[in-house]
Amino acid sequence: MTSPSDAPLRRRALLRGVAWTAPVVGIAVAAPAIAASLQECPTLPAAEEWETTMPSGALDAETDTSTTSWQNRDGVDTWISQRNSSPDDIVQGATIFTDAELPVVAGVTYTISFEAAGQWSAESADPEAAETAGQAMQLTVTGADGGSLARTAVATRPEDFNGTEALPMSEGDPVWQTYSVTFTATQDETVTVGMSNLLRESSDTYNDDVLVRMPLVTCEV
């Protein structure tokens, strides 16, 4: 797995871009029944095959970047961004990407669903008193030509991030909620499914934590 600080900028990293845009949010919706056979529906690769990069901003020098990574949580591959911060001299904050490729077939409708949760910084059991700042996560699907096919975004403090839906927050065990995006492929191609975490610039000690379980893909012809 590639660390956020030293990953090469590969072709799909160029395609996904670094801009944070206001998405259309899909929240807590049930995935459609799979009309196509399971053989026709691709799966996303295992966590170790995702590429992680940091194309914008910077993490605080004291941040342990190993905690922003894919981890096994309760037997499930989970993208976890925790115990990190973005220094206040970074105007746009830090953005951390992790992404993987997915082959799609023209005419098939794909739904990518994922469970996500937010947690208050472990630095304080009292979120009102904690010296923390918000964090957002955006899931995008990008075509081979760089065009956006689908996107949705969630945040620990949606009032700080335009176009995001609130994550369920907790101080202890995660409270999972399901989100999804849907698109219909117009051609046979390999798309990029990416998750980007935006750490709001702040002089506070840490950003809130975001956890996302490995997305699942279902199909309908």
- Residues 148-166 pLDDT 10s: 999 999 999 998 899 999 9
Give the chain's residues under pLDDT 70: 1-40, 55-67, 83-93, 122-131, 201-206
CB 185 within 8 A of CB 106: yes
pLDDT at 134: 84
| Rounded Cα gap, residues 119 and 80, in angstroms | 11
Residue 192 maps to which CATH number? 2.60.120.260
pLDDT of residue 20: 57
- Is residue 50 within 8 Å of 99, Cβ to Cβ? yes
What are 174-186's pLDDT values in tens digits? Answer: 999 999 999 999 9
Identify the pLDDT of residue 112.
98
Strand bridging mode 135-142 / 189-199: antiparallel
**Domains: count for the chain:** 1
Q: Which domain holds residue 83?
A: 11-220
Q: How confident is the model at residue 28, as a pLDDT? A: 42
Residue 132 in domain: yes
The verdict on residue 207 lying in a domain is yes
Report pLDDT for 207: 76
Residue 73 within any structural domain of the chain = yes
Return d(Cα 10, Cα 201) in angstroms, integer. Answer: 26
- In our burial notation (b when 16+ CB lie closer than 10 A, e otherwise), range 172-211 reads eebeebbbbbbbebeeeeebbbbbbbbbbbbebbbbbbbb
